[in-house]
Structure 1
Amino acid sequence: MQLFFVNSKLARRHLDSPVVSGDEVAGLLDDRALADGTPVFLDDETMMPVEPLCSWGRSLSDAELAEGTLKDYGRIIARVADHQVQRGRDLVTATESDLQVYKRVRTELQTRPVGDSAWGKEAQLIDRFYGHLKDRGVLRQTPRRMVIRGRRIKQKMDIRHLTYGQYRYFRDVGLGGQRPDSTVDRSFRGWSPHRNRGAADLALGTGMRWREWATVLLPELGIGVGHRVDEVTFMVQACAKYGKARSIYVPKDSMTSLESYLLLERPEQASMSARRLERHHRDLFVVSRIDHESGLVYGTLDGMQRVFTMSAMDAGLRRVTVQETEVGLEALAVFICRGGLMPLADSWKRYRHAAWRRMVARQDENTPPLPRKRWRWHDLRHTYALQLLNYLERQMDGEEPDAVARRRRHRSYLSGHMRLNPLLIVSRRLGHSSPATTYEYLEYTDDLLPDFDDAFQGWVGEVGSEATYAQIAAHAFGLEKRESL
């Protein structure tokens, strides 16, 4: 059995058959509301659809899941099917013992076993798959549930925050290519250190998730409006988790940190890639006009005139969004790579892995101790959350080291100060679905190191910067007060 995924754009642009055109196939997929990413299972010999797997894939499309999620779900079920074939058995008629063997392979026997959390998500999908077959009358009963029964423990958030020294070492030495003593390292061969340092400062200064800051567009940061913008607020939605809209505040120092990249590196990258982008002109969304006040973007996509609200543009559309400039076609994304378009997840992963290897190699007795685990971009979001929460608490109540008293204070906030409760402010700034998620940060705010006391003074931007988290906190308080009026 082979696994494919629906891709209407690919069909429209590259299908060339005397029987059916690419436009006709794309139109049929649109007419049937088959979302891109929908898994399609085909027989190895006949290349005909395999049922009931294709019907299950269609049900996922109807659920309006993200393209990446659809693909992940398809791969999981294809993996279970392959496991059954290797055992000489069938996926549809799998028994509980078959699935227990599969679970053991995934969690114990394979080269890199998955943990309880990953297996729990996979097991829930397998349960849903067999539940679907039962609901459709394909099965009379399903295998027993495959989640970790009896001993399953609720996983806590893996909160990893950075000290001031760790962050500067990560950013300047790992990403920026400096020596630990802040001098220039002539042997550094990194291609875009200003971009990576700017990305780190943007992530740390805003608390955005990777998909949010990595896909930000130039107009969203006020770049190109015709005058200098020191700080900016914009909306994220399509690239936010669960599509939950929220406002993002970018402080002045994060904007200043990006200037080095926008002035020194990005123009050269854009110029080098303009000719390549021109060759792929028909595959891109070419912007003709940007209305900065309304947030609308006008342009041509697939030969049609289109209008989008920037906050409603998903990551895939943002990546192919370009505009005509004096050098030719240029991506509208803030961060671009050698190809001229925004880097994908694998690229950002490669950047941080290279930074980690460099930090380990350069570590000496004068560098800060490195974390036990290799750092993640998401650690910057956790650091933002802890620092903002700690700062807001101190501004509201001063020092109160007793952890029990602090939690009692938060319960009081929840009933009497809903709009100005530090915990809820941070929850809204991060876009958490529930304050309970943010609540897990509380145990860490009791143990913040002494050099956290200045609340990010000098973290973002160059050494000696006067900006602190007071700027971010003041904006957050002001916004909450306006919203409560």
Structure 2
Amino acid sequence: MKWLSIADYNQWRDVGMRGFASKGNRDPSFKGPLAGRNASFTDLMVRTGMRLTEQSVLLLTEIPMRRPDVAHAKVWITARTAKNMKGRHIYVPNSVLSSIDAYVRGERRAAVKRGTRNGLYSPDKGWFVINERNPKWVLTPSGMGRRLSSLAPVERARVLVLKDAVLQPACLWLTDKGAPMSSKTWQGIFAVANARCVRLGINLSAHPHALRHTYAVATLDKLQRGHLSTLEPQNEPYRKRYVQVFGDPLNWLRLRLGHSSADTTAIYLHTLAELDYETRLALIPDDEEWELPSEAAADFGNNEADLDYPDV
């Protein structure tokens, strides 16, 4: 199982996606398009554990506004886009929301303008259009209404929304020409980033699932530390009662990842068990760089209900 330390991920992202030089300074020769988009995409993936297909078809309307009083925003991944129809909540840190907002206001807006000029968003080209009066529904190309949550990934990539007085793709991630990004295109961007690192003599590479693994390992480590610090000074009856009420960190992570069984999630527990404490501290620093949502403890008591959240 491949995963990166937090420091290694930051360097891989900055060099491969953002176009920095190996010493951390700006590389004036870098000509990569939409570097802000690419870095926002990988930051979101490594901080939420989403699968590539799930994240590729996120809609602009599903990204909440950043609130300074809330450290993490709760986002629902619909069952139709999730593997094995396991709809679930994810938590997006405010820092990632800020990065996404900058992309939406800058690079994405410019891409939409190019797509509009080229007539890409004409409704007669087979697009679905979100109903203005009821944004949970779309109008299909045949004129029928459907729930937005019922759309498969390939259909979500064909949805338009009226924003800033113009029709534009509802998909969050767009190419420089304004078309929705595909999973295959993202895989190519990861490959280019890896090749750039190799060219600059940096022995780092990543693929989408490696970022999912990174999220899982770092998050489980943080959950375990918090869990143990709470239980350590308590007596045995209190510990048993605490686990009954607040559940199990492994199960919380299982729900965030959309696993059907805790046995699948347990691979990350085994990974941590192979590291001594000093190594874990070095790879996953105990600071605010990987802050967990405050809802984590509260959600321990509602694990199974989370799986039954309706797609509406």
TM over 0.5: yes
User: How far apart in 2 are the matches of 1:284 and 1:227?
Assistant: 36
* Amino acid in the other structure paired with 1:340: G
For residues 153 and 246 of structure 2, the distance between their equivalents in structure 1, rounded to whole angstroms, comes to 32
Whole-angstrom distance in 2 between the partners of 1:191 and 1:349 = 15
Paired position in structure 2 for 1:303? 142
1:235 aligns with 2:110: no
Q: Structure 2 residue aligned with 1:347, among 185, 188, 200?
A: 185
- CA shift in 2, pair 1:230/1:218, >3 Å: farther
Of 148, 160, 172 in structure 2, the residue corresponding to residue 322 of structure 1 is 160
- The one-letter amino acid of 2:295's match is H
Q: Which residue of 2 aligns with 1:75?
A: none
What residue in structure 1 maps to residue 299 of structure 2?
479
- Residues 1:182 and 2:13 are matched in the alignment: no
Whether the 8 Å CA contact 2:251–2:303 is kept in 1: the answer is no
> Deviation at 1:228?
11
Alpha-carbon shift at residue 392 of structure 1 (Å): 1.1
With over 3 angstroms needed to count, the CA separation of the structure-2 counterparts of 1:278 and 1:161, relative to structure 1, is closer
Partners of 1:298 and 1:228 in 2: CA distance = 31
Q: Relative CO higher for 1 or 2, CA cutoff 8 Å, sep ≥ 6?
A: 2
| Displacement after TM superposition at 1:443 (Å) | 2.1
What residue ranges of structure 2 are gaps of 5+ in the alignment? 231-238, 306-312
Tell me if the contact between 2:132 and 2:162 (Cα under 8 Å) persists in the aligned partners: no
- 1:78-130: per-residue Cα shift (whole Å, max 9, x none)? xxxxxxxxxxxxxxxxxxxxxxxxxxxxxxxxxxxxxxxxxxxxxxxxxxxxx
CA shift in 2, pair 1:434/1:268, >3 Å: same
Residue-by-residue CA offset, 1:7-29 (whole Å, 9 max, x unaligned): xxxxxxxxxxxxxxxxxxxxxxx
Identical-residue share of aligned pairs (%): 24
**Residue 198 of structure 2: SS of its match in structure 1?**
helix
Amino acid at match of 1:246: R
Partner of 1:392: 223
The 1:178/1:424 distance shift into structure 2, 3 A limit, reads same
CA contact (8 A) 2:67 2:94 kept: no
Please give the per-residue CA displacement for 1:158-183, whole angstroms capped at 9, x wherever unaligned.
Answer: x2110122101211110111112332
Among 288, 291, 304, the residue aligned to 1:469: 291
CA RMSD of aligned residues (A): 3.0
Shift of 1:329: 2.6
Alpha-carbon distance in 2 for matches of 1:397, 1:226 = 30
Distance 1:299 1:379, change over 3 A: same
Q: Is 2:90 the counterpart of 1:248? A: yes
- SS of the residue corresponding to residue 189 of structure 2 reads helix
Shift of 1:297: 2.7
Aligned to 1:378: 209
Superposed CA offset, 1:345-393 (max 9, x none):
2201110111001011112xxx5x43xxx52111111111111111111
**1:298, 1:484 → 2: CA distance?**
27
Q: After superposition, what is the alpha-carbon deviation per residue over 1:305-360, rounded to whole angstroms, capped at 9, x for unaligned?
A: 413143x3321111010123447431111111134232112201110111001011
- Give 1:96's aligned residue: none
Segments of 5+ residues of structure 1 without an aligned counterpart are: 1-158, 400-411, 459-467
Aligned to 1:203: 45
Which of 262, 279, 289 is the equivalent residue of 1:435?
262
Given that 1:230 and 1:252 are in contact with CA atoms closer than 8 Å, whether structure 2 keeps it comes out as yes
Larger of the two Rg values belongs to structure: 1
Which letter maps to 1:344? S
Q: What residue is the counterpart of 2:236 in the other structure?
A: none
